[in-house]
Amino acid sequence: MTGPRDALLDALYNALPTLRCQRKCQESCGPIVMSRREWERIIERIGYEPVGDETLICPLLDQHGRCTVYDIRPLICRLWGTVQKMKCPWGCVPAEWLTDAQAHALLRQAEVISGA
């Protein structure tokens, strides 16, 4: 169910620098942290709580390595390749780089939106 928190999260996501992703970084998709609402959105979408395994690869990737929840992926996934210390190994470059401080502030904002 979409609500005001989702609209705020989407606005936060839309404020991020754009990045022309080549979608080659699936090996970087592993255990991550996300806000409570981001987790709830994923569960609502897929209908169950995803569980990882010993490979530590994100359980939301399909057999071809594509994200099955790409349009609602968490902020931390969206920050990949846009933060100076999280540069894409495949050469994707954002319209502008975010600093670590900016990324941390955005993550805190997602937590506040989620009610944490």
pLDDT tens across 7-42, in order? 999 999 999 998 888 878 787 888 888 999 999 999
Q: Note the pLDDT of residue 1.
A: 61
4-14 helix and 36-46 helix, angle to the nearest 10 degrees: 110
Number of domains in the chain: 1
Say if residue 2's pLDDT is above 80.
Answer: no
pLDDT tens across 37-83, in order? 999 999 999 999 999 888 888 999 998 888 999 999 999 999 999 99
Q: Check: CB of residue 41 under 8 Å from CB of residue 6.
A: yes
Cα distance between the two ends of the chain:
19
Q: Print the domain residue range for 102.
A: 4-113
Q: Check: CB of residue 97 under 8 Å from CB of residue 82.
A: yes
